Amino acid sequence: MLVPIYQIDAFASRRFSGNPAAVMLLERFADDATLQAIAAENNLAETAFLVPDGEDYHLRWFTPTVEVPLCGHATLASAAVVMERLAPHRRSVVFHSASGPLSVERRGTGYIMNFPARVSRPVEPPPLLAEALGQDPVEVMADAFNYLALLETADQVRSLRPALAAVAALDRSGLIVTAPGDGGYDFTSRYFAPAKGIPEDPVTGGAHCALTPYWAQRLHKTTFRAFQASRRGGELVCRLVGDRVELEGSCVFYLEGTAAI
């Protein structure tokens, strides 16, 4: 069976930056093993699978090794496919997912996603964290998905070379590292998830669902310019709206074609 496939640089205003995602349009979801094999074949941080349901879509996300409950950049890429290729007249779309309904609105040349906030709480640093970071963080937080480690400066975040084996051995699936921003950004971050088959994710929507309420509490504001300091780099505008987070970014199409599955 031939199915449409798109590869898109999300949270990017130019090609070869941001976070690449594959988006595949299906009539119905294949079995989990097939979806996982496709994502492994695509070998990107995330592959998004879309199934139409009236005006809405059902959406699932797979890394090369596991299915995940939420993925920001692949949701952004999926919205671009819907509103730039499948139905260019549309200004919004709702995706039904394991994290509930996710709405995306087209605004100017970009998109605004509405996701549930992830509130993290202070914890004692797990024994492997200092080994993973090669230093002691200023503060450690955790939610159900990730640890969040605060460093003193954006330069420390940019120069970090974590021990990925130690990160993979943590009792959370990922590690967010953050610090106050520089160069006009409110905060800087990086995200590591080797346990999910992603040594470092270039730009991570899910991490910003935790970073936004965290920095809202520290900076006493609700709107932020954020930079994820991976090698590719990515820019986001983040807003805390009650118990939801709005993430705003742009997409650039890289590849369009068909896949045989």
Among 27, 46, 124, 235, the active-site one is: 46
To which residue do tokens 């106050």 refer? 180
Classify burial at 119, counting beta carbons within 10 Å of its beta carbon; exposed 0-12, middle 13-18, buried 19 or more: middle
Q: Residue 147 in contact with residue 175, Cβ under 8 Å?
A: yes
Active site annotation includes 131: no
Question: Whose CA is closest to 70, among 31, 121, 110, 113?
Answer: 113
Calpha distance 188→192 (Å, rounded): 14
Calpha distance 50→107 (Å, rounded): 22
Residue 238's alpha-carbon distances to 112, 114, 211, 241, in angstroms, are 9, 10, 9, 10
**Which residues are known to be catalytic?**
46
